Amino acid sequence: MDLLINPIKDYPWGSRTAIAELTGRPASGPEAEMWLGAHPAAPSRLTRDGAETTLADAVAADPVGTLGEAVAGRFGRRLPYLLKLIAVDAPLSLQVHPDAEQAADGHARGDANYTDPWHKPELVCALTPFTGLAGFRPPEQAAMLVERLHVSALQPVVAALRGGDVLGALRVLLEWPGSRRELVESVVWAASACHTPDYALVVRLARRYPEDPAVLAPLLMRRHTLAPGEALFLGAGVMHCYLEGFAVEIMACSDNVLRAGLTGKHVDVEELLRVADAAAQPLPVEPVGGAYVPPVPEFLLRRIAPGAVEVLSGSLPRIVVCVEGVVNVRAASGSEVKLRPGDSVFAAASEGPVEIGGDGLAFCAEPHM
């Protein structure tokens, strides 16, 4: 087994405390995500035969040994999942991910929106109370919330919603023809007088993005709050925006993101609306025997509670991360490591079955085979 050194992404929405405190070191700025995996944009590092290499290179050098015959046969010379610790201190961009066909086609066309030829379904499991927007409200409900602002300029948005066209309403906002700042100022003035959490969130977003009509997203979308241990799966086409909290996130090994707003990054309205699915909703995932099993083959996530001992059969590529206490990981090959908070290990398929236990809390990622 290989202890991992994992890259940390310093996106501005990240926390200055969550990942730093978990790993026992100071943070020099916002830390948004720790990536544990073999994505070429930021692969984990490990040491083999006294030399440092990346997990991506280790997989490519011996795909059958690291992945196992079944996983290598299905997914090729790549680890099919990417595990993350995600620390959200400010709202992320409003975004959506493509399905497998859209991702493959976009990448083949050389579309800059598609950095990978793979889809990006994802599952988030809360470590602390975790809040996000995901999936659209019923259009008539969204129309009522927008209309309650009494901002006459928003009548085209209300009309689209009354007609059942949520994506049409979103298009009106994203292609706003007039002064975006004036619109947002009018919305803030009106929302400040509406004393409910949805309108308060509109005001909060507007303070951060004073020229972005996408600050109205809380009125168009559903809000979800996860307690620690609760999980949500987001498939292709689900519009979403994480707002606050610390969580474990697992996804297919892809970085394909189409953004609708609440960001300084590129927004492609036409491609976004082509990929977004107005009817798509996130799915709550209840653990079965400690495993969160999504409806995709690239990954599943196991939660090993303090005091429990989990024996995982089969020969699969697994990443184990400790988030609390001390966790022991022992492989059938005889390898054994002790993990403390923030530590992680990669167990290649050639290590065989793995036993995980101790007084700590751990998460284990593996393909859903």
- Active-site residues: which are they? 259
Rounded to an integer, what distance in angstroms lies between the CA atom of residue 39 and that of residue 254?
A: 7
Closest CA to 248 of 192, 300, 173: 300
Using an 8 Å Cβ cutoff, are 188 and 221 in contact?
A: no
Collapse the DSSP code of 74 into the 3-class scheme (helix H, G, I; strand E, B; otherwise coil) and give the result. Answer: helix
Give 254's DSSP letter.
Answer: -
Rounded to an integer, what distance in angstroms lies between the CA atom of residue 303 and that of residue 123?
A: 13
Nearest 5°: the CA angle 22, 339, 24 is 25
Closest CA to 343 of 32, 50, 5: 5
Rg (CA), the chain: 22
Q: Measuring CA to CA, how many Å separate 2 from each of 33, 60, 65, 210, 348? A: 21, 16, 14, 46, 8
Rounded to an integer, what distance in angstroms lies between the CA atom of residue 231 and that of residue 330?
A: 27
Closest CA to 127 of 202, 209, 226: 226
Closest CA to 327 of 313, 308, 312: 308
> First and final CA of the chain: distance in angstroms?
21
Q: Measuring CA to CA, how many Å separate 26 from each of 14, 23, 30, 307? A: 14, 9, 11, 29
**3-class secondary structure per residue, 40-68:** CCCCCEEEECCEEEEHHHHHHHCHHHHHC
